[in-house]
Amino acid sequence: MGNSLSCCLSPNASPKLGRRRGSAEPDCESEVYKAAAGNAVAVAPAAATVEPAELDFAGGEGHHLQHISDREMPEDLALEPNPSDHPRASTIFLSKSQTAVRQKRKSNHLNHVSPGQLTKKYNSCSTIFLDDSIVRQPNLRTTLKRMTLAIYYHIKNRAADRSLDIFDERLHPLTREKIPEEYFEHDPEHEFIYRFVYTLFSAALLTADCAVVTLVYLERLLTYAEIDICPTNWKRIVLGAILLASRLWDDDAVRDVEYSQILKDVTVEDMNEMERHVLELLHFNINVPFSVYAKYYFDLRSLAHDNNLNVLFTPLTKQRARNYEAISRLCDDEYKDVCRAAMRRSFSADHFIGIRRSNAILS
């Protein structure tokens, strides 16, 4: 929060993760704490140690409540930049995909596999080739293909099978049909993940930028909660991220009651409970700066390029350039409105958590 003082300067006031690998006392002499103390108390000498309990809050002209998106990151996460929070940190899905891409290229080289006919078009001084997806207005199908490919690599290259009961499909199935145990022993294919996500987006009339934000929330959830996305939980984790992203970033937010009509075997209470858990595991950090959004968008484009996802490129005409310029100006205003709306919603937990009493829903 800049130079404004807040009680979250105390390392003990930071929200704790539900699951910890080990307990460690915060080191008040660390570089992170020194930077925070230096920002808050400008008159303190460089060699002096500032105790949080000794900070004087009476010296300011007034107190300002800290916004929920500005609260201090958990101590375990503050030491290493989180890609879903920091625009310069590399996205997790892109790093997970690089191993598979390198192995594929190495295999093709050793087996003398020809790349086939080169169909990619390159820009020149007189011609610029673009697809129909831009950062301000991505194409829905293309973005969903890329986003689900990122989820596929998360599942395929996971480190372990850490999970939570609320996301376990064996405990909370999304269908009444009996699912064979073999289903949870194999990683889902990219096309299967795409069909599941595309069905939700098309039925709920969600936009492509909501898909990018869904991926941001998903990686943030995996990092904060220290869990892995695997065959037993991927559907419920993706559904929870979509619920939250659509509620906060879509102009016409779909209510949980309407989602229960899309997923007919899932109760509203189950979706409310799952959404509440997602928010708690995220420590209510639902802020997505545009710099982070843009990083995820362009990393998804890089992912598509590395995996040869087919995209139609056409020359940029003057009319298309004018249209893109108009879209950019319009989306600038819309994004500011969405951010203001999301900030207003964050002051009321009941509003964006979406918890409803059963009798209120039925009535």
Largest CA distance in the chain: 73
Contact yes or no for 189/149 (Cβ under 8 A): no
Which residue has better confidence, 3 or 136?
136
User: If pLDDT is split at 50, 70 and 90, which confidence band does 34 have?
Assistant: very low
Question: What does pTM read for this prediction?
Answer: 0.66
Angle at 239 between CA 194 and CA 91, to 5 degrees: 70
Does residue 295 register a pLDDT over 70?
Answer: yes
Q: Determine the Cα–Cα distance for residues 194 and 332; give it in Å rounded to an integer.
A: 29
Q: Determine the Cα–Cα distance for residues 291 and 329; give it in Å rounded to an integer.
A: 17
Contact yes or no for 269/112 (Cβ under 8 A): no
Instruction: Identify which of 197, 220, 203, 190 has the alpha carbon closest to the alpha carbon of residue 296.
Output: 220
The position carrying tokens 């016409």 is: 252
The position carrying tokens 């020809």 is: 114
Highest mean pLDDT among 53-62, 256-265, 287-296: 287-296
Q: Determine the Cα–Cα distance for residues 53 and 57; give it in Å rounded to an integer.
A: 10
Does residue 180 register a pLDDT over 90?
Answer: no
Does residue 305 register a pLDDT over 60?
Answer: yes
| Residue 315, beta-bridge partner list | 129
User: What percentage of the chain carries pLDDT values higher than 70?
Assistant: 58
User: If pLDDT is split at 50, 70 and 90, which confidence band does 201 have?
Assistant: very high
Q: Residue 320: its pLDDT value, please? A: 73
Q: Residue 29: its pLDDT value, please? A: 46
Task: State pLDDT tens for residues 158-172.
Answer: 999 999 999 999 999
User: If pLDDT is split at 50, 70 and 90, which confidence band does 293 have?
Assistant: very high
Does residue 71 register a pLDDT over 60?
Answer: no
How much is the mean pLDDT over the chain?
73
Highest mean pLDDT among 127-131, 234-238, 324-328: 234-238
Q: Residue 138: its pLDDT value, please? A: 84
Q: Residue 336: its pLDDT value, please? A: 62
Mean pLDDT of 305-324: 77
The identity of residue 263, as a single letter, is L
User: If pLDDT is split at 50, 70 and 90, which confidence band does 75 have?
Assistant: low
Contacts of 198 (CB under 8 A, 6+ apart): 141, 144, 148
Q: Residue 303: its pLDDT value, please? A: 93
Convert the chain into a string of H (helix), E (strand) and C (coil). Answer: CCCCCCHHHCHHHCCCCCCCCCCCCCCCCCHHHHHHHHHHCCCCCCCCCCCHHHCCCCCCCCCCCCCHHHCCCCHHHHCCCCCCCCCCCCCHHHHHHHHHHHHHHHHHHHCCCCCCCCCCCCCCCCCCEECCCECCECCHHHHHHHHHHHHHHHHHCCCCCCCCHHHCCCCCCCCCCCCCHHHHHCCCCHHHHHHHHHHHHHHHCCCHHHHHHHHHHHHHHHHHHCCCCCCCCHHHHHHHHHHHHHHHHCCCCCCHHHHHHHCCCCCHHHHHHHHHHHHHHCCCCCCCCHHHHHHHHHHHHHHHHHCCCCCCCEECCHHHHHHHHHHHHHHHHHHHHHHHHHHHHHCCHHHHHCCCCHHHHHC
User: If pLDDT is split at 50, 70 and 90, which confidence band does 328 have?
Assistant: confident
Length of the chain: 363
Q: Residue 98: its pLDDT value, please? A: 86
The position carrying tokens 């590395």 is: 306
User: If pLDDT is split at 50, 70 and 90, which confidence band does 356 have?
Assistant: very low
For residue 79, give both structure tokens.
């030491």
Mean pLDDT of 55-82: 53
User: Any idea which of 57-66, 318-327, 340-349, 351-360 has the lowest mean pLDDT?
Assistant: 351-360
Angle at 348 between CA 342 and CA 354, to 5 degrees: 85
Q: Residue 110: its pLDDT value, please? A: 62
Does residue 178 register a pLDDT over 60?
Answer: yes
Contact yes or no for 164/214 (Cβ under 8 A): no
Q: Residue 277: its pLDDT value, please? A: 95
Q: Determine the Cα–Cα distance for residues 98 and 104; give it in Å rounded to an integer.
A: 10
Provide the pairing of β-strand 129-130 with 314-315: antiparallel
User: Any idea which of 43-47, 307-311, 318-322 has the lowest mean pLDDT?
Assistant: 43-47
Q: Residue 64: its pLDDT value, please? A: 54
Does residue 1 register a pLDDT over 90?
Answer: no
Task: State pLDDT tens for residues 95-126.
Answer: 999 877 776 666 665 665 555 545 566 667 77
Q: Residue 44: its pLDDT value, please? A: 43
